[in-house]
Structure 1
Amino acid sequence: MSVKEDNEGKSIFHQTNLYGSIPPTCLPIVYHPDYNITFMGLEKLHPFDSGKWGKVIRFLKEEQFITDENIVEAREASEEDLLVVHTKRYLGSLKWSFVVATITEIPPLVILPNCLVQQRVLRPLRTQTGGTIMAGKLAVERGWAINVGGGFHHCSGDKGGGFCAYADITLAIKFLFERVEGISRATIIDLDAHQGNGHERDFLGDTRVFIMDMYNHNIYPGDRHAKRAIKRKVELDWGTEDSEYLQKVELHSEGSLNEVRPDIIVYNAGTDILDGDPLGGLSISPQGIVKRDEIVFRAAKQRGIPILMVTSGGYQKKTARIIADSILNLRQQGLIGAKAMEREGLSQLVTHLTQSSGSAGSAHTAV
């Protein structure tokens, strides 16, 4: 466990570099060039575009929304950070290349020395995981945050799969619960084409976390045990198109947030719902994805609830452009950007965060 108690029963947190202070001039958009996986072309053996995150950033720079100076540079999650959720046994298993090959679905990794696998495959995933944790704190501070990466929703505390080696969604929520005063309830809105069985297994039976999951029920992972954690389950059929899809997104997002008012929304915004995706099996247009994200962000803003977005799955080269277009649309709609930071009720939440971080940092935590 990462949280211990001293002789007086007070919590002692492990030291982390992920909750440091971020300059107010920075937009709460988190990224690092290390997100991108390039290794002798082996990454091309998986349908996932392992360089899409850098492409998203390039498009946003071309539109003059961000610069190197005003985005937040992600930091790699340390082993102690990961142990907030993951078991030592699971993290130890990642020192075997065949385990990583199975999780990432890239068989040739089996023959490579694990030191190379750690550096070229797992380190980028740990950096994205650190980015999600950092973005969680930023969302509370600023009202919204986007990690241009993350969303590894098939990984739980003791098992990886589906290209997901670290449980970044679970970690971000548990960091907030443990370290940020006033954050005690979370809602996960998972709109990736696949069931988010990782965070579902982690929060099974945890009444603090409300999970809405909307996915193609015909495809991976089909985890019936994990489905027990879903509070609002929306199962889609092959080839679902924009009209039906967007109607269900609005109905169930609004319904979820009306049923339980959370202190933070974690939005898993997978683009594998796009028509033609080789793994998603749905038929949503690029415009439909842009509108979907707008619906979720608008629901959060109307209620004054901080929202953290992660980009998750998406297995076509054009998904990077769609993600960038969606982020630009959110700015155009006034749902993100400098003006969106000025939200009613947020100042009190920031005060709580500052007091909490200050006391934890002075006593036990390097921030």
Structure 2
Amino acid sequence: MSTIPSTTGGSSSSSSSITSTTDAETLRRNRILASKLYFDVPLSKVPLIYSPSYDIAFLGLEKLHPFDSSKWGRICRFLIVDGVLDKNHIVEPLEATKDDLLVVHSESYLSSLKSSLNVSIIIEVPPVALLPNCLVQQKVLHPFRKQVGGTILAAKLAKERGWAINVGGGFHHCCGEKGGGFCAYADISLCIHYAFIRLNISRVMIIDLDAHQGNGHEKDFSNDRRVYILDMYNPEIYPFDFEARRYIDQKVEVVSGTTTNEYLRRLDEALEVAGRMFDPELVVYNAGTDILDGDPLGQLKISPDGITDRDEKVFRFAREKNIPLIMLTSGGYMKSSARVIADSIVNLSKKCLIDMGSSSGKI
């Protein structure tokens, strides 16, 4: 004989779950509204965000890591030497606080970063595990938190000025509960949640063109139809996150050895489809240069000119639809990456897709 389950218990459980979710959303909203990461930027500044704090110098240990930890500063120096950027026009962000990070991250995850061992696992520099956490915080996590502040601020600037470039950020392997792949904080997810509340934006497109799958933001927005994810990545390399692949709205897999012409052809097709499928109010462009020919981790064969063409295509996509765009520099594991990124930004300026001399320039 079948029995009918008690509706009282189910209703109570459901009500409790709804209340818990509502409380969490209210707390998130309050944290976002109380944050100081959004601030007014003088019109004398251009929407290019960087701080000397981005660059990591850690007792020489950074040399044990494949990532060029001074890439961000060298990009800006190239732009200044090229006469494209006035150093006094750079926007310096604030560092994300614990309350800022709790918008996406759990208390337990942030507590785990107080262990030097856990940090060393995430950034893949084993000797860091042997160092006092105060040094790890100052030399590694502080620069990352500054870059997070830059990514979050970039959305505000992009909404106001049409575009913004954070010369850093793009930590797309980190989600709310877990870091990995050199990514300690989920800056993309944080940026989008801030935009939802502070900018009244309800539709965001992530265009992730780093060589690696952006499994962090994919997990964070797995059930959020406000976010459309176009991820073009090499499926034969890290992170092999098959669960997160289920959450990609538009998956474009480019295998090891893919060359420039084929890559750009696939990108053209992908952008055309994305434009038909979704109408965003903000584009977050994760512009990793680890697709470069010779990059030891990306394993693709894209030329420097191919990077320039790629970035131009994405900026044109946004301009034609009058959508504010944020660019993040993300991965890139060769010394040549900084020069390639700077050259691409110079090209965007020459093509009038960005205005590095006037804050009034629109995308």
TM-score, with normalisation over the residues of structure 1? 0.90
For 1:303, the equivalent position in structure 2 comes to 321
**Which residue, 112, 117, 129 being the options, matches 2:131?**
112
1:2–1:84: 8 Å Cα contact kept in structure 2? no
2:281 is equivalent to residue 263 of structure 1: yes
For 2:149, the equivalent position in structure 1 comes to 130
For 2:213, the equivalent position in structure 1 comes to 195
2:296 is equivalent to residue 274 of structure 1: no
Range moving further from structure 2, 248-257 or 131-140: 248-257
- Give the letter aligned to residue 215 of structure 1: Y
Could you tell me how far 1:11 is from its partner in structure 2?
6.0
2:31–2:99: 8 Å Cα contact kept in structure 1? no
2:229 is equivalent to residue 207 of structure 1: no
1:2–1:83: 8 Å Cα contact kept in structure 2? no
Corresponding residue SS for 1:233: strand
Corresponding residue SS for 2:87: coil
- Give the letter aligned to residue 248 of structure 1: R
Q: 2-side partners of 1:334 and 1:109: how far apart?
A: 44
For 1:83, the equivalent position in structure 2 comes to 102
- Give the letter aligned to residue 121 of structure 1: V
Aligned pairs for 1:219-230 within 5 A: 219-230=237-248
Could you tell me how far 1:205 is from its partner in structure 2?
1.2
Q: 1-side partners of 2:325 and 2:285: how far apart?
A: 7
Could you tell me how far 1:257 is from its partner in structure 2?
2.2
Q: 2-side partners of 1:343 and 1:194: how far apart?
A: 30
2:22 is equivalent to residue 4 of structure 1: no
**Which residue, 8, 30, 33 being the options, matches 2:49?**
30
For 1:362, the equivalent position in structure 2 comes to none
TM-score, with normalisation over the residues of structure 2? 0.91
Q: Over aligned residues, Cα RMSD in angstroms?
A: 1.6
Corresponding residue SS for 2:211: coil
Change (3 A) 1:245 1:32: same
Aligned pairs for 1:145-294 within 5 A: 145-181=164-200, 183-294=201-312
Change (3 A) 1:40 1:211: same
2:47–2:359: 8 Å Cα contact kept in structure 1? no
For 1:96, the equivalent position in structure 2 comes to 115
**How many pairs were matched up?**
339
Corresponding residue SS for 2:247: coil
Q: 2-side partners of 1:76 and 1:2: how far apart?
A: 24
Could you tell me how far 1:23 is from its partner in structure 2?
0.5
**Which residue, 17, 26, 39 being the options, matches 1:20?**
39
- Give the letter aligned to residue 298 of structure 2: G
2:163–2:362: 8 Å Cα contact kept in structure 1? no
Q: 2-side partners of 1:245 and 1:236: how far apart?
A: 7
Could you tell me how far 1:228 is from its partner in structure 2?
1.3
Q: 2-side partners of 1:50 and 1:28: how far apart?
A: 23
Corresponding residue SS for 1:266: strand
Could you tell me how far 1:163 is from its partner in structure 2?
0.2
Change (3 A) 1:36 1:12: closer
Deviation digits for residues 24-71 of structure 1, max 9, x if unmatched?
111000000000000111011110000000000000000122122111
2:51–2:93: 8 Å Cα contact kept in structure 1? yes
Report % sequence identity: 56
Deviation digits for residues 73-94 of structure 1, max 9, x if unmatched?
1211111110110001000000
Corresponding residue SS for 1:146: strand
Question: Any unmatched runs of 5+ in structure 1?
Answer: 345-367
Corresponding residue SS for 1:156: coil
1:272–1:314: 8 Å Cα contact kept in structure 2? yes
- Give the letter aligned to residue 229 of structure 1: Y
Change (3 A) 1:304 1:110: same
Q: 2-side partners of 1:254 and 1:36: how far apart?
A: 36
Deviation digits for residues 309-333 of structure 1, max 9, x if unmatched?
0000000000000000000000001
Question: Any unmatched runs of 5+ in structure 2?
Answer: 1-22
Could you tell me how far 1:14 is from its partner in structure 2?
4.7
Aligned pairs for 1:320-335 within 5 A: 320-335=338-353
Q: 1-side partners of 2:123 and 2:331: how far apart?
A: 13
2:164 is equivalent to residue 142 of structure 1: no
Q: 2-side partners of 1:119 and 1:12: how far apart?
A: 24
- Give the letter aligned to residue 111 of structure 1: L
Deviation digits for residues 131-152 of structure 1, max 9, x if unmatched?
0001111111100000000000
2:354–2:361: 8 Å Cα contact kept in structure 1? no
1:193–1:270: 8 Å Cα contact kept in structure 2? yes
